[in-house]
Amino acid sequence: MANLANPPAAPETHPFFRFHAPHLHLSSVFGDDWFALKAEAFARFFGTPVFLIAQTIIVAIWIVVNAAGWWVFDIYPFILLNLAFSLQAAYAAPLILLAQTRQADRDKCHAIADAQHREDLHKAGEARLDAAARQSALLVEMLEQNTKLTESVKGLTEQVALLTKDLHAHLMKEG
């Protein structure tokens, strides 16, 4: 379970999200002011075990105190407790929707950044393939030139050998 006192760094600051940086300027539909951020944090708190356990303990104490008659402020069927739950639900639902909408906005920005990154990777891969194809073509051309040069050198060497043989034969006849 994550430590609530020291939450991890925001995902947008992690090096993995460096491709999402161009989209950080986008604000959510509810803005990024202190109220929106606190409301979202509060809505996210509704789903934590800490909240559920605390709420269960408070309700249990409420029922025991009133049912046992130690301090009766909400008699059975606990109308005030029901009203408190209704009030909590009236505020929780919009806050949860706000948090979901803000998360959907972030997810959309991340999806766009991921798609752009994949496209950039595809373009870079194509560029590498094109460069490799050009280099292969250059190597083939250089091999063909080398073959032609080798054939030329062989022809010249054969001519020099023939001329040397003829010169040697001519010098041996005269001498």
Instruction: Encode pLDDT of 150-161 as tens digits.
Output: 999 999 999 999
Q: Is residue 170 part of a domain?
A: no
Residue 17 host element (H or E) = none
Considering its fold, how many domains does the chain have in total? 1
Residue 56: what are its φ and ψ, rounded to 5°?
-60, -45
Residue 172 covered by a domain: no
Q: Please indicate, yes or no, if residue 105 is contained in any of the structural domains.
A: yes
Question: 130 lies in a domain?
Answer: yes
Within a domain: 48: yes
In a domain, residue 41? The reply is yes
> So what's the pLDDT on residue 101?
84
Confidence check: pLDDT of 20 > 80: no
Eight-state DSSP code of residue 29: T
CA–CA dist 174, 170 (Å, integer): 7
pLDDT digits (tens, 9 = 90+) for 91-126: 888 888 888 888 888 888 888 888 888 999 999 999
Question: Model-level pTM greater than 0.75?
Answer: no
**Residue 4 is assigned to a structural domain of this protein:** no
State which residues form the domain around 78: 16-138
Compute the average pLDDT of residues 6-18: 57
The percentage of residues in the chain with a pLDDT greater than 70, rounded to a whole number, is 81
The answer to whether residue 28 sits within a structural domain is yes
Q: Do the Cβ atoms of 29 and 104 come closer than 8 Å?
A: no
